[in-house]
Amino acid sequence: MAGARALLRLCPLLLPQDRHGTAYEGFVTAQGRDFHIRILLPADLQLKNARIECSWRLKRILHGYQHILKQRLHSCPDLVSFMVELKTVLEIALKNTQDLHIPRPPEYYSCLVRDLETLGWNRVAYVDTGLTTVKLKAEDSCGRQHLITLKLNAKYPTEPPGCLVDFPVPFAVSWMPQNSLIDIYNQFLAALESLKEFWDALDEIDGKTWVLEPENPTRSATTRRIAIGNNVSVNIEVDPRHPNMLPECYFLGADHEVNPLRTKLNSNMHLWDPEISLLQNLRELLEIDFPSRVVLEKSDFARDCGICYAHRLHGSVPDRVCDDPRCGQPFHQACLYEWLQGLPTSRQSFNVIFGECPYCSK
């Protein structure tokens, strides 16, 4: 309910079309203009599997930003967060679309080239032919490579360029008319170092466990679904500003498998030590050692969905398991929801549906 109110405050013209909150239609407003949009969410409300439909005007404006929006769909925890990101990108896109028709004075080009030369061409990853888009590259203290995309308007350097980064937190630039690209670059480097511990924690998890989702995580992704054993996994949500604190944990698997893990987490929560790594803390609290991908590939973990007979569906792996220990068949949540909805014996309470397992009928 709180999320619905927040969405209404942010986008008062975007309204839900069903009681499940899986379809929204209306308008998103930017720079005093309204753009028609329709958002369709799957039954499990996972943003990464959402479908966005919009007017041809909005599609044309956002044409060069599709990969950024796709990243945000995968990394944003809820629809409100994504709409904040969408409006930010739309503001930048509109500003740059308008600037395309404004002739740039000679001073613009001389200033930009001077700034790039002062910054160093070795830090420039890309410049478009119109000298309106610049991508700068940087390496953090751990050797990770990062990019920042700058969209410059005709009034540069009086007005700052729009900045797009692959960060899990907003990146706001402090700008004065006398500033240059070097100032943005230095702020970019400072932001990279502020996120160092967050990326260190997730890099250790990516390197030492089997991460089921996301398959190819971006630097802005704050969640990891980690394999624990046969059809048992834990989904963690790491706070990028406090990466050494206990993350939100959600266990997936049959009840008889995950209930002991929940009990251990609750019993050992007081043992969390922010001085050791996130992965080591999880090992000690759950009293397990996360198996590597090599070990689990030999097991029966990566079984296909018992309904669609595929392992990955729209990028997701099976995340629901029959609670009967003798069955344990995994299913995609979306497949299971659709299957149970079609059974006359199933019953539904709010957005949860109960019914027989398609495999063992329990």
Strand order in the sheet with 33-40: 14-16, 23-30, 33-40, 51-54
Average of pLDDT values for 312-334?
A: 78
- In percent, the amount of the chain with pLDDT more than 90 equals 33
Average of pLDDT values for 82-111?
A: 81
Tell whether the model's pLDDT for residue 361 goes beyond 70: yes
- Residue ranges with strand state E in the chain: 14-16, 23-30, 33-40, 51-54, 124-127, 133-139, 145-151, 162-165, 211-213, 223-229, 232-237, 248-252, 320-321, 330-331, 347-349, 352-354
- Residue ranges with strand state E in 238-326: 248-252, 320-321
Tens digits of residue pLDDT in 28-65:
888 888 889 999 988 877 888 888 888 888 888 888 88
Residue holding tokens 């029966």? Answer: 300
Tens digits of residue pLDDT in 30-39:
888 888 999 9
Q: Which residue has the higher pLDDT, 171 or 325?
A: 171
Residue type, position 148, single letter: I
| Dist CA 97 CA 194 (whole Å) | 33
Closest to 303 measured CA to CA, from 245, 243, 232, 217: 232
| Dist CA 80 CA 51 (whole Å) | 15
DSSP 8-state secondary structure symbol assigned to residue 328? -
Tens digits of residue pLDDT in 167-221:
998 888 899 988 999 999 999 999 999 999 999 999 999 999 988 888 788 899 9
Instruction: Report in angstroms the alpha-carbon separations of 357 from 83, 270, 320, 323, 345.
Output: 37, 38, 11, 9, 11
Q: Which residue has the higher pLDDT, 311 or 114?
A: 114
